[in-house]
Structure 1
C-alpha cells in the first residue's frame, strides 16, 4: 500500500498504576528497548509513537506488530526486556490496536492529538502486567 494512502497519527500508551521502580519501554523493530522509563512513586508512564492508518483500517509503523491477516498490536517491554538486567521480570505487554473504533480513527487526524490507550500496569498479584492487556480507556488525548 502506498504511503500516500496512509494518514499519520500519534498513538499514546498510558500505563496507570505501574509497579514502582520497574523499567518499561517500547519495542523497536530490532527488538531493542525504546524510550525506557520507570515510575518513581506510582505516577503513570506514557509512551508516544507515530503510526500510519490506511483504509480498511490497516495499521503501519515501527512499533506495530502483526499476527495473522487482521490482528495488529504494540508491545511494551517490562523489566529485563526493557533493558534492566537486574529485574526479576522479563515480560511484554501486548496492546491490540486493530480494534480501534472507526470514529476515533477518523477524529484523531482532525484534532492533531494522539489516540490514547490507558492500561493498568500492576496485575492482581502485585507484579507487572504482562500478556494481552485490555485498555480501560480509549480516546483522544486531552493535551
Structure 2
C-alpha cells in the first residue's frame, strides 16, 4: 500500500493520574525515549504524535508497534525506560490503536483534529501502570 492511500491523523495520549515524579515518554522509532516528562503533583501528561492510516484500517508510523497480523499499539515508557536511571521502575504501557472505530478515524481525518486517548497512569497497587492499559476514553479533541 502506497502512502497516497494513507491519511495522516494526529493522536494524543493523555495519562491521567500518573504517579508523581515518575518519568514517562513515548517510545520512539529507535526504541528510545521520546518527549520525556513527569507529573509534579499528579497532573495529567499528554503526548502528541501522528499516525498514517490506510484502508483496513492499517496503521503506520514511528510510534506504531505491531503484534501479529492485526494488533497495533503505541508504547509509553516509564521510569528507567523513559530515561530516569534512578527510578525504581522500568516498565512500558501498551495502548492499543488497532481497535479504534472507523467513524472516529474518519472524523479525525476530516476535521484535522487529534484523536485523544485517555488512560489511567497509576495501577491498583499505587505504582505506575504497565502492560496493556485500557483507554478510559477515545474522542476527537
1:51 counterpart residue number: 51
Residue 118 (1) aligns with residue 114 (2) = no
Q: Which residue of 2 aligns with 1:140?
A: 140
* Aligned residue number for residue 131 of structure 1: 131
| Deviation for aligned residue 1:117 | 0.5
> Match of 1:38?
38
For the residues of structure 1 that align with 2:16 and 2:111, how far apart are their CA atoms?
24
TM-score normalized with structure 2 length: 0.99
SS of the equivalent of 1:105 reads: helix
Shift of 1:29: 1.7
Match of 2:93 in 1: 93
* Runs of 4+ residues over 4 Å off in structure 1: none
Mapped partners of 2:113, 2:40: distance in 1: 27
RMSD, aligned α-carbons: 0.5
User: Where does structure 1 lack aligned partners over 5 or more consecutive residues?
Assistant: none
* CA distance in 2 between partners of 1:10 and 1:73 (Å): 15
> What's the CA shift string for 1:114-140, capped at 9, x where partnerless?
001000000010000000000000010
**Following the alignment from structure 2 to structure 1, what is the Cα–Cα distance between the partners of residues 113 and 127?**
32
Q: Gapped runs of 5+ residues in structure 2?
A: none
State the number of aligned residues: 141
- Matched ranges for 1:60-75 at <5 A: 60-75=60-75
Alpha-carbon deviation of 1:111? 1.3
